[in-house]
Amino acid sequence: MAYNRVTPEIAAQLAAIAPGRVKTGEEISPDYCRDEMPIYGTGLPELSIDVLSTEEVSAVMRICHQNNIPVTTRGAGTGLVGGCVPIQGGIVLCTARMDKIISFDEEQFGVVTQPGVLLETLKAEALKRGLMYPPDPGQKLATIGGNVSTNAGGMRAIKYGTTKDYVRGMTVVLADGEVLRLGANVAKTSMGYNLTQLLTGSEGTLGIITELVLKLIKAPKLEISLMAAFADLETALQAVPKVFMSSFRPTALEFFERDILILSEEYVGKVVWPREVDGQPVQAYLLMIFDGDDLDEIDPILEKMTEFMLEAGAMDVFIADTATKINDIWTARSAFLDCIMDSYKLYDENDVVVPINRISEFVSFFTTEAGQYDFEVRYLGHAGDGNLHIFGVSNEMDEETFKEQIHHWMTSMYCMALQMGGELTGEHGIGHGKIPYFAEYVGEGVMQIHKAIKLAFDPKLILNPGKVC
């Protein structure tokens, strides 16, 4: 696709829309050229613009549409698949300054917010009102607009669902500047095609979200974590399907292995998890959350789960029931991605999903496959929904060799996931880093439908070009 350049005249028109918030050349922040996964490269925009309102976004898009200029939307830039990288140059449109929570409707359990509100801010403000925004992606400094654009998941998905389950409506600006208002703050609807859900997870390729109507729930008053230590990963993972067959309903159920835990604890500077039980090394861990309104509700569950884990082969079970213990445990868990980025020069990751009763088989497959390559492997997963985070990492390899080997390894994993009835991404999306795998995975028929939808929303292909399809 041939796009036009941003002329001085066009830059002046944009500067008139957003006075003092347009940057060109060396003024553009380097952050606007990339996301959090550097292996997918950078892109240099000709101009960046920070917008404050739906009206500004609409005016910007009318100019870009008329002049055939590509626009890449970004929030906090915390994505991991190159989704906000301006690979075609053009304009980066940042919605991070649209950071106002507009209103809470406590009777309807809803909130109206701009897209630049941080996830942690929204959660904290809801909690002040006794409410909860359940989606819980690991990066709390992501914007809510970015979460919706990627249908972000998180650890609490097994009980509460993912971001799409909490999007009731949105205001969105199309490629030509037209403003659509979709959905409403109501509990259910059955009115035509569900465009709200279509835009959710579309990664900025169909429209630019400028306002959101989100569902909230009553916040549980108490949350307690339980961790089980195992002598081997296979035993730990074999216990996961049995948890659900036994009617336990954890809020989150995570697994990880010894190496990534040690890396994380060294990064945060604090040993939190037991490395040994009765002199025997711990090789794998399951971490669970249970929530409720009081101890009388949760204690019987914790007692039964402790017995269950020991019967399933756990070496020991530990309960974190104070704010300090819970904070220490989850600080170490939440630092996994940061510690990898800090510890290795080269890294790539996939977030494949497989049936929970086949996680162990899949782990065995990709670790065996990795044995033929030069990089190391670190991994963890949302055991409750089969969503794994698998990293290839290296400090010694040259980048081109690393990319080549990673590509072959990733391809083998995606093929195996398909054979197992899984998916190639559970929460990070496609961006531009995963397009080759996506196209092969879904086949030509599905890709043509994606392309037709893209053309219906954006016939000039100016919105986040080179992403998804």
Mean pLDDT of 135-141: 87
Residue 325 has pLDDT above 90, yes or no: no
pLDDT in tens, 394-433: 999 999 999 999 999 999 999 999 999 999 999 999 999 9
User: What does the chain come to in residues?
Assistant: 469
191 pLDDT band (50/70/90 cuts)? Answer: confident
Dihedrals phi, psi of 120, to nearest 5 degrees: -65, -30
Task: Give Cβ neighbours of residue 72 (< 8 Å, ≥ 6 apart).
Answer: 43, 45, 84, 85, 86, 87, 88, 90, 91, 92, 93, 204, 464, 465
Among 216-220, 281-285, 333-337, the minimum mean pLDDT is found in 333-337
pLDDT in tens, 253-268: 999 999 999 999 999 9
pLDDT in tens, 22-32: 999 999 999 99
134 pLDDT band (50/70/90 cuts)? Answer: very high
CATH class name, domain 101-218: alpha beta
* Paired tokens of 158: 């097994």
The confidence score (pLDDT) of residue 222 equals 92
| Percent of residues, the chain, with pLDDT higher than 90 | 87
Residue 140 has pLDDT above 90, yes or no: no
Specify the fold of 344-452.
Alpha-Beta Plaits (3.30.70)
Mean pLDDT of 218-242: 95
| Percent of residues, the chain, with pLDDT higher than 70 | 100
Residue 1 has pLDDT above 90, yes or no: no
Could you give the CA distance from residue 322 to residue 328 in angstroms, rounded to a whole number? 10
Residue 208 has pLDDT above 90, yes or no: yes
pLDDT in tens, 91-132: 999 999 999 999 999 999 999 999 999 999 999 999 999 999
pLDDT, averaged across the chain? 95
pLDDT in tens, 64-78: 999 999 999 999 999
Task: Give Cβ neighbours of residue 251 (< 8 Å, ≥ 6 apart).
Answer: 156, 158, 159, 160, 223, 288, 289, 290, 291
**What pTM did the predictor assign?**
0.94
pLDDT in tens, 341-370: 999 999 999 999 999 999 999 999 999 999
The confidence score (pLDDT) of residue 59 equals 98
The confidence score (pLDDT) of residue 328 equals 85
190 pLDDT band (50/70/90 cuts)? Answer: confident
381 pLDDT band (50/70/90 cuts)? Answer: very high
Residue 339 has pLDDT above 80, yes or no: yes
Specify the fold of 8-96.
3.30.43
Highest mean pLDDT among 36-40, 117-121, 185-189: 117-121
User: CA of 114: how far to CAs of 96, 118, 365, 435, in Å?
Assistant: 9, 10, 43, 29
CATH class name, domain 222-336: alpha beta
The confidence score (pLDDT) of residue 175 equals 98
Judge if 222-336 and 344-452 fold alike in CATH terms: yes
The confidence score (pLDDT) of residue 246 equals 86
- CB-neighbour burial class of residue 322 (10 A; exposed 0-12, middle 13-18, buried 19+): exposed
The confidence score (pLDDT) of residue 417 equals 95
* Paired tokens of 128: 């002040």
The confidence score (pLDDT) of residue 188 equals 81
The confidence score (pLDDT) of residue 324 equals 85
For the chain, what are the domain ranges? 8-96, 101-218, 222-336, 344-452
Q: Where are the beta strands (DSSP E) in 106-248?
A: 110-113, 131-132, 167-173, 179-183, 208-215, 217-218, 222-230
The confidence score (pLDDT) of residue 323 equals 83
